[in-house]
Amino acid sequence: MTTPNDTHLVPLLDKPLPADLDVTGIAREWFSRFAPLVQSGDAAPQIVDLLVDDSFWRDVLAMSWDFRTFRGPTSIKTFLDHRLDVAKLSNLKLEKSSLVQFPPAIGWIQGIFTFEVGDYGLGSGVFRLILTPDGRWKAYTVYTSLTGLKHYPEKAGKLRNQLPNHGKWLEQRQREVEFVDAEPYVVVVGGGHSGLMTAARLKHLDVPTLVLERHDRIGDGWRERYDALCLHDTVWHNEFPYIPYPPSWPVYTPAPKFADWLEFYAQALELNVWTSALVEKVGKDERGRWIVTVRRGGPNGTVRILHPTHVIVAAGYFGKPHVPHFEGKENFKGEVFHTAEFISAKKNVGKKVVIIGCGVSAHDVAADHVENGVGEVTMYQRRPTYVITQKVSTPLFTGPYHEGGPPAAIPDLAGNSLPRLVIRTLLQGLTRYAENLDKGLLDGLAAKGFRYGRGDNDAGFYWMSLVRGGGYYIDVGASQMIVDGKIKMKSDSELDRFTESGLLFKDGSHLEADVIVLATGYGDVREKVCDLFEPEIAAKIKPVWGLDDECEMNSVWRDCGVENLWITLGNISVARSQSIPLALQIKAIKEGIFKGERYSRDCSPPEPVRSRI
């Protein structure tokens, strides 16, 4: 069994691989042995012999109808013994090979291949070959994923509607959006980027889908955030399926602009969305059908009861605002509120402001106060925070997502093919490397009392986003404000209690405040999901987000404990790539291809795998 806390060392080279290496020939030679063995359906031992001892096989739907990662020869052999003959992979074709190096000591040959699954599926795969001490090329990782259904291609390109529509389109769209003539097969709760991308995938697969958005307009969840909010991922990383951004789009998108993009996206793709649609209750009838009660148009609006086959919850990345208990908070004479309620610092000019917390929101709120002329701004840091500058993080972590780079689907495939333990090990090295590049800033922060940490498993912000969804800051200016003394730090003592005029710490120091902002994060997203459902359904929902025993994400895009209930969340790039397997599962169920039987066996050996390379 592979767990998030297992150790793993990426195999190291004695020296970098030569640039003139016959990459294509090596990849072809290995693949020429691999492909016929896979197609035979009963050659698990021989396939395992093509892999190194501490190897990984990750499968997304193609062979398991699940998200699974198997580590080491015993686990992989068990998996292949059980699933090769069932999945019936065929027509394996090597499409591309390349040399990938992380100097000075990590390098492999990466191959991308395609295949068919039984008589119904299309797949893509990735393998990575490393040079063993005895001079042989063996696979370090193998990835297989379902990417399409043979007989149900997306209705796009040559398959788009090619008939003219004279005067009937508007009426047809109105009936379609209102579901006058039929029930939606899928109801998506939440019209943010995750919900809209999933609805777009389903529409292109001809699955009738309705998105329910509680706000008055699509994108209002972003418009109602604080004024200074801006996306920290680049425009290339945040690509949407089917519609690219205009070439003049800024690298970093302001939140209100992104809100408008979401609204445009839904309209352009003709997604069926009800706004001002509050989901009051979700339950099931005696036959197991979903009953979704929706109130439209506010508290006094009309009620519609829907009976979809599937419900997808796309209610956002975070749970409810987390407000810890603070002794004496009721005695404070000033204003206290969570960052979820923060809009702008303009009203706090002339006041003393203290922010409890040191993550992204805390930094953004503090910087907004400085930029609006608030002279006394202090952040109280309760635990170490990982910091990396945007100028360092962008080239290090965006990889092929850049100007002139390939379509996002290509790096998405490569990224998804890496087992998360391998990702974590690579991130540990990148985190240490980034520290050296940011040394001047980090030294300046330390001099001001800022406590820096590398995050969970010393793997920086990306890994932290997977395991707990926060605790880091990608610097876009606030860190330099700390170094310059414009934002003061308090980090040398635990908080004792609130007083009438501020905060008292256990070392006896007191911090005066007129306004205290709680940048204390958000609760478990599972609680927010469960609030939608009747208690007997909510009790069955498994943990949401975080990593399971194979370092796969808990409950999202896969079985969450309740039949025909799905959960999707994550940042824009995650939502983009994972909307594909989610939509494919639903389409496969609709067409009778997938009967809901997943490969759930624990294939882990009794002893942990030890790398010998």
Residue 569's φ and ψ, nearest 5 degrees, are -160, 175
Residue 554 clears pLDDT 90, i.e. is over it: yes
CATH of the domain at 365: 3.50.50.60
Residue 344's φ and ψ, nearest 5 degrees, are -155, 150
Answer yes or no: is 602 within a domain.
no
How much is the pLDDT for 14?
A: 78
Same-domain status, 256 and 365? no
Answer yes or no: is 106 within a domain.
yes
The total number of structural domains that make up the chain: 3
Q: What is the pLDDT of residues 30-79, one digit of tens each?
A: 999 999 999 999 999 999 999 999 999 999 999 999 999 999 999 999 99
- Gap between the terminal Cα atoms of the chain: 20
Same-domain status, 186 and 314? yes
Answer yes or no: is 12 within a domain.
no
- 201 vs 578: CA distance, rounded Å: 10
What share of the chain has pLDDT > 90, as a percent? 85
CB 32 within 8 A of CB 578: no
How much is the pLDDT for 611?
A: 41
| Last-in-domain residue among 97, 119, 149 | 149
Q: Average pLDDT in the 82-105 region?
A: 94
- 394 vs 238: CA distance, rounded Å: 13
CB 396 within 8 A of CB 427: no
Answer yes or no: is 508 within a domain.
yes
| Last-in-domain residue among 518, 545, 560 | 518
User: Long-range contacts for 61-64 (Cβ within 8 Å, ≥24 apart)?
Assistant: 61/145, 61/146, 61/581, 61/584, 61/585, 62/87, 62/89, 62/115, 62/117, 62/121, 62/123, 62/125, 62/144, 62/145, 62/146, 63/87, 63/89, 63/117, 63/144, 63/599, 64/598, 64/599
Q: Most distant CA pair in the chain: distance in Å? A: 77
How much is the pLDDT for 470?
A: 83
Residue 152 clears pLDDT 60, i.e. is over it: yes
- 202 vs 197: CA distance, rounded Å: 9
**Which residues lie below 8 Å from residue 160, measured CB to CB, with a gap of 6+?**
none
Answer yes or no: is 30 within a domain.
yes
Name the nearest CA neighbour of 566 among 158, 67, 141, 175: 67
- 365 vs 356: CA distance, rounded Å: 11
How much is the pLDDT for 467?
A: 83
- 398 vs 576: CA distance, rounded Å: 15
Nearest 5°: CA angle at 29, between 28 and 31? 60
- Residue 320 to residues 261, 480, 530: CA-CA distances in angstroms? 25, 31, 12
Same-domain status, 274 and 334? no
Range of the domain at 196: 169-319+524-590
Q: What is the pLDDT of residues 422-469, one digit of tens each?
A: 999 999 999 999 999 999 999 999 999 999 999 999 999 889 988 887
Residue 103 clears pLDDT 80, i.e. is over it: no
Neighbouring CB atoms inside 10 A of 34's CB total 23
How much is the pLDDT for 3?
A: 52
Pairing of strands 186-189, 137-149: unpaired
Name the nearest CA neighbour of 231 among 193, 202, 268, 197: 193
Same-domain status, 501 and 537? no
Same-domain status, 535 and 508? no
Four-residue CA torsion sign, 356, 358, 360, 363: positive
Same-domain status, 59 and 114? yes
Q: What is the pLDDT of residues 212-264, one digit of tens each?
A: 999 999 999 999 998 889 998 899 999 999 999 999 999 999 999 999 999 99
List helix spans (H) across 398-534. Answer: 409-417, 420-437, 439-447, 460-467, 478-483, 525-530
- Residue 68 to residues 13, 29, 558, 598: CA-CA distances in angstroms? 28, 27, 11, 10
Same-domain status, 271 and 287? yes
CATH of the domain at 142: 3.10.450.50
Provide the CA 263 distance to its chain's centre, in angstroms: 21
Same-domain status, 314 and 352? no
Same-domain status, 306 and 336? no
**Token pair for residue 316?**
């956002």
Nearest 5°: CA angle at 237, between 232 and 242? 130
Residue 89 clears pLDDT 80, i.e. is over it: yes
**CB crowding 120-158: b at 16 or more within 10 Å, else e:** bbbbbbbbbbbbeeeeebbbbbbbbbbbbbeebebeeee
Phi-psi region of 362 (alpha: psi -120 to 50; beta: other; left: phi over 0): alpha
DSSP 250-276: -SS-BHHHHHHHHHHHHHHTT--EESS
List helix spans (H) across 375-419. Answer: 390-397, 409-417
Average pLDDT, the chain: 94
| Last-in-domain residue among 474, 490, 518 | 518
Q: What is the pLDDT of residues 314-364, one digit of tens each?
A: 988 788 899 999 999 999 999 999 999 999 999 999 999 999 999 999 999
How much is the pLDDT for 612?
A: 35
Least confident of 141-145, 473-477, 582-586: 473-477
- 49 vs 260: CA distance, rounded Å: 53
How much is the pLDDT for 606?
A: 57
Rg of the chain over Cα atoms, rounded to whole angstroms, equals: 26
Residue 106 clears pLDDT 80, i.e. is over it: yes
Same-domain status, 368 and 461? yes
Answer yes or no: is 431 within a domain.
yes
Same-domain status, 107 and 205? no
- 321 vs 356: CA distance, rounded Å: 14
Answer yes or no: is 539 within a domain.
yes
**Token pair for residue 452?**
């820096």
Answer yes or no: is 394 within a domain.
yes
Same-domain status, 405 and 477? yes
- 45 vs 31: CA distance, rounded Å: 16
